[in-house]
Amino acid sequence: MKNISGYEFVQQFEKVVPLWLAEEKDPVGLHVGDLGQTVRKVMVTLDVRPEVVQEAIEQNVDFILAHHPPIYRPLARLDLSDPQTRMFADLIKHDIRVYAAHTNLDNANNGMNDWLAEALSLTDVEIMDVSRTIPLKRLNVYAPKTHAQQVRDAITKAGAGNITDSYQDCSYSMSGIGRFTPVGSANPTIGEVGAPEEVEEERIEVILEENKVSTVMEALYQAHPYEEPVFEVYTIDQMQPEKFGLGRVGNLPEEMDLVAFVHHVKRSFAVEGVRVVTPPNGLNNSIKRVALCGGDAGKYYPKALQKGADVYITGDVYYHTAHDMQAAGLTVIDPGHHIEKICMPKLKEMVLEWKKTLEWDIEVIASSVDTNPFLFDHQL
């Protein structure tokens, strides 16, 4: 089994849930601690609250992977008489790092919103609001024919040359003559200083995702025999077909009336109650097509309408926004923000899979603290 640092853990996590998927100004990533330290015990949680931090201390956790960022706005002062502020001192004192994956997890494929759709047993699921795709680059690199396969293998292994999930190691080559004259302090692999040289070369062309450029270029430099490899990287007017965005829309296996669907939502998300917004005579509406978005996403209700949804599920619906939804003829169910607790078993499962396949020497637990601040009156 292998000891890993926080850097290695985060690098693996961001392959699946990259930071660039986050909404603007969302403070995702590291919030507290030093990623250079070894990770031995990870705790996944929805929220980072004082009770969660105490649980982490008692469980000897050294890395918290959270959905909601603990520092959403800048701290004005470090007054440790405030329990919410004191928890940051406790985290630092016990060398506990905190990393948050918020709207990047919401936007990720097989992330938060897909997990919520899965819990509702929706089929034919699609993204409600597509907002991101992956820009593509083209890399042309020139290598002597004797080393062309070596360079090609290195850059495709690093992630270049993938066209959708169906084709990998894709490249194109052209043969030609490379000419150069080493001068000054040059230390050429081929030829001599001051003597013109001609070499049979290949131009290797590959497409790669923009976020893989640095990794591919590192592999290129390591594999290329030349002291100064010649290459070109430029943007092309083409996007990977994979799309990302907030919310999901799908269909129920069978049509339901509103009352039955409300009970389905409560069972699926294990909540005690929901708020319901209906247009006039909406109680008689049938539900088949469902839109949802975890968290506080009331402002996205026009996207649900555009997708032909019979109902929209999201948390923390504001009073005036509910009026707008009602006027637009949309039925809305608000099961609260805390349904996002579904991320805890999913994140734990994800990390345990990495532990197995990458042979990490770590423990993984989920927080047992209920961070839902709300009770219904029948629970009192």
Provide CATH 3.30.70.120 ranges for the chain.
Answer: 133-242
Asked if 28 and 22 touch (Cβ cutoff 8 Å), the reply is yes
pLDDT attached to residue 363: 98
- Cα–Cα distance list, 100 to 57, 67, 123, 219, 346 (Å): 18, 5, 29, 30, 15
45-73 tens-digit pLDDT: 999 999 999 999 999 999 999 999 999 88
Which segment of 54-68, 170-184, 281-295 scores lowest on mean pLDDT?
281-295
Residue 85, pLDDT > 80, answer: yes
Give 107-131+244-340's CATH code, choosing from 3.40.1390.30, 3.40.47.10, 3.40.50.10790, 1.20.58.2030. 3.40.1390.30
* pLDDT tens readout for residues 148-164: 999 999 999 999 999 87
Write 364-367 long-range contacts (CB < 8 A, 24+).
364/41, 364/42, 364/43, 364/44, 365/41, 365/42, 365/43, 365/44, 365/59, 365/61, 366/43, 366/44, 366/45, 367/43, 367/44, 367/45, 367/46, 367/52, 367/55, 367/56
pLDDT band at 26 (very low <50, low <70, confident <90, very high): very high
**Residues 6 or more apart in contact with residue 323 via CB below 8 angstroms:** none
Statement: 4-102+341-370 belongs to CATH 3.40.1390.30 = yes
DSSP assignments along 246-289, one per residue = EEEEEEEEEEEEHHHHHHHHHHHHT-S--EEE--TTGGG-EEEE
Question: Which pLDDT band, with edges at 50, 70 and 90, does 132 fall under?
Answer: confident
- Interval 24-45 mean pLDDT: 97
Q: What is the pLDDT of residue 163?
A: 84
306 contacts: CB under 8 Å, gap ≥ 6: none
**d(Cα 47, Cα 369) in Å, to the nearest integer?**
9
Q: Which two tokens stand for residue 67?
A: 């959905």
292, 332 Cβ separation under 8 angstroms: no
pLDDT at residue 73 in the model: 85
Q: What's the pLDDT score for residue 29?
A: 97
Of the pLDDT bands very low, low, confident and very high (cuts 50, 70, 90), residue 17 is very high
Q: How far is CA 186 from CA 21, 45, 150, 191, 227, in A?
A: 43, 55, 23, 10, 8
What CA–CA distance (Å, rounded) separates 316 from 322? Answer: 10
Q: For the chain, where do the domains classified as CATH 3.40.1390.30 start and end?
A: 4-102+341-370, 107-131+244-340
Report whether pLDDT(242) > 90: no
User: Strand, helix or coil at 34?
Assistant: coil
* pLDDT at residue 238 in the model: 72
Is it the case that residue 239 has pLDDT exceeding 80?
Answer: no
pLDDT for 158: 96
CATH class of 133-242: alpha beta
